[in-house]
Amino acid sequence: MSLPKQTKITAILDKASRLLAKQGHQGYIVGGFIRDWLLGRQTDDIDIAVDGNALDIAREVAEGLGGKFVLLDEINRVARVVVIEKERRWNLDFSSFSGNIESDLARRDFTINAMAVKLGQLGASMPLKLVDPFSGREDLKSKVVRAVSEQIFEADAARLLRAVRLAAELDFTIEPKTESLIRRYSQSIVKVSGERVREELLRLLNLPRAAHYLWYLDNLGLLLALVPELAESKGVEQPTTHFWDVFDHSLQTMAAVEFLIRESDWEYGSKDILATVPWADAIVRQLSAEVSKGSNHKTLLKLGALFHDIAKPETKFVDDAGRAHFYGHTKEGAAITAAILDRLRFSHKEINLVKTLVYYHLRPVQMSNGRELPTQRAIYRYFRDTGDAGIDILFLALADYLATYGPLVNMKGWEGHCQLVNYILMEHEKQQAKVLPVKLIDGHDVMNVFGLAPGPLVGELLALVREAQASGELTAKEEALARVRQELNKRQFEVS
C-alpha cells in the first residue's frame, strides 16, 4: 500500500521518527490523519501513539524539530508539538500506549479512526504496512461510520455527537448497529462538558445541510437531550398561515437560512425564489466574519434560526375568536437562548449575537408600520439597535417568512418581502455614506456652544444629531447645532 505524498509533513514526521529511535522508542501515526490521507484530504493535525512516556518524548521531539511543546493532559500523558513553517502550522499530538498498537486502536472510537502506520514509513520508498484490525479501510471505501466496540460511548459520550459530525463532514452514513448504540446512550450526552459540546456543534453548524443533521440528531435522541427546552415546541400549533408546528418551523427556518445564503438546496426552494434575494460581496463578508474561535456570523445565524421561536410554547395565548398569539416571545426567547448557550459554554460575544437575532427577528417587518416601506429614521434606529447583527437579522426574517409558508409560499408576497429587505440594505448603505465621512459636530462643539460639562447628555445629543443626519434632515453644522438647541429647550420645558 502507498499513500499520496505531502513532502513537507513527511519530512517532519521522518525526522520525528529518527528522534524517537534515538530515545529507543517506537511510534505510530494513528487516527484521523491516516483516515484523511487515505481519502485524499489534507490535514494538519497528526496523532502519534508512542511506547513510552509521551510527555518526555514530546519534549525531546519539540526541541529536535524546533517546535513548541504544549501540555494537553498531564494525567493521561498527552502533549502537543506545534511546528510552524512559512505560515503553515502542524499539530503533532503525542499519547502513550502500553502493550501493542492493536490494543491502543481497540480503545479508539470508530473503525475509520482505528488505523495506524509506523512513524517514519510515510516518506519511505517501500510499500506501507497499514495496521487495520477493525477493517477501517473497507469502511472508508463503503463510506460508513462504525463503532469499534459497544463500549465506545460509555468511555466517552462526546463520541455520540462526533459520530454525526464525522458522517456530515465526510458525507458518510452511520451503520445501523452504531445508530442503535447512539440511541441507547443518547442521554449520556448530558455528562459531556459544555466546552466539548460547543466545539462539536459549531463544527456541525459550519457545514452545509446542518439543518438536515439537526433533524438527524433529533431522530437519534440527541437534540432534545442537549437542548431540552426545544421539547415543548413539538406539536405546538400556530396560526393557519403557518405550514408547520413550532419545532418543525424552527428547523425549516434553519434550512431556509442555508438556502438563502447559497450553502445548500432547500426542498421548497427554487431558482425564482433565490433570484429575488439581495446578495453582494458585503453580505458575504458579513456572514463570514469571525465572532469567536470556531464561530462566525453564518454559523450563529443558524443557531438564531433554531432558537428564534423557542419561547412560543410558554407565551401562547388563544383569544376568544380562537386565534393564537405569542405576545413577548421574542424577549422571552432571547433570555432562554442566552441560558442555553451559557450552559453550552458559548462566549459572551456569541451569546449576545444570537440573543440579538432572537430578540429582533420580527423587527424588519415591524419597521414599515403599515407603510409600504420603512422611514429613514426607522432604518437608522434598526441598525443602531441591532449593531453588527443587522444584516444577519434581515436574512433570518427572510428565512422565517419562507418557513412560515413552506410549499405554499406565494411569489408575489415573497417578492414584496425581498423588496423590503433590499430597500433597508440600500438605504442603510446610503446613510452610512452620509454619516461616516462627515461629522457635522463633535462633543467639543456641543460643550463649548451650550456650556455643557462632559457626561451622558453630550452623547445623547450627538446620537440625536447622527440619527437626523442619516435620515437626511441635517446637512450642515449650523443645522446640527440648531437641532441640539431645540432638544435642550424641549428638555428644559419638560422639567419646568
Would you tell me which CATH number, out of the four given (3.40.1190.20, 1.10.110.30, 1.20.120.550, 3.30.1490.20), belongs to the domain 143-226?
Answer: 1.10.110.30
Residue 454 has pLDDT above 90, yes or no: no
Domain boundaries, the chain: 7-139, 143-226, 238-435, 443-495
So what's the pLDDT on residue 1? 46
Fold annotation for 7-139: Beta Polymerase; domain 2 (3.30.460)
Question: In the CATH scheme, what architecture does the domain 238-435 have?
Answer: Orthogonal Bundle (1.10)
pLDDT band for 444, please (50, 70, 90 cuts).
confident
**Residue type for 238, please?**
Q
Beta strand pairing call for 116-118 and 27-30:
antiparallel
Spatial CA neighbour of 313 closest among 258, 241, 249, 369: 249
Q: For residues 282 and 265, what is the distance between their CA atoms, to the nearest angstrom?
A: 22
User: pLDDT value at position 401?
Assistant: 96
pLDDT at 419 over 90: yes
- 367-417 pLDDT, tens digit per residue, is 876 567 899 889 999 999 999 999 999 999 999 999 999 999 999 999 999
Higher-confidence residue of 121 and 170: namely 170
pLDDT tens, position by position, 239-281: 888 999 999 999 999 999 999 999 999 999 999 999 999 999 9
Residue 322 has pLDDT above 90, yes or no: no
pLDDT in tens, 226-238: 999 999 999 998 8
Q: How confident is the model at residue 213 (pLDDT cuts 50, 70, 90)?
A: very high
How do the residues of the chain divide into helix, strand and coil, expressed in percent and rounded to 5? Answer: 60, 10, 30
**Grid coordinates of 212:** 438536515
Per-residue pLDDT, 164: 98
pLDDT digits (tens, 9 = 90+) for 81-110: 999 887 788 899 999 988 889 998 999 999
pLDDT at 189 (0 to 100): 96
Average of per-residue pLDDT values in the chain: 90
The percentage of residues in the chain with a pLDDT greater than 70, rounded to a whole number, is 95
pTM of the model: 0.84
pLDDT at 2: 46
Q: What is the 3-state secondary structure (H, E, C) of 334-401?
A: HHHHHHHHHHCCCCHHHHHHHHHHHHCCCHHHHCCCCCCCCCHHHHHHHHHHHHHHHHHHHHHHHHHH
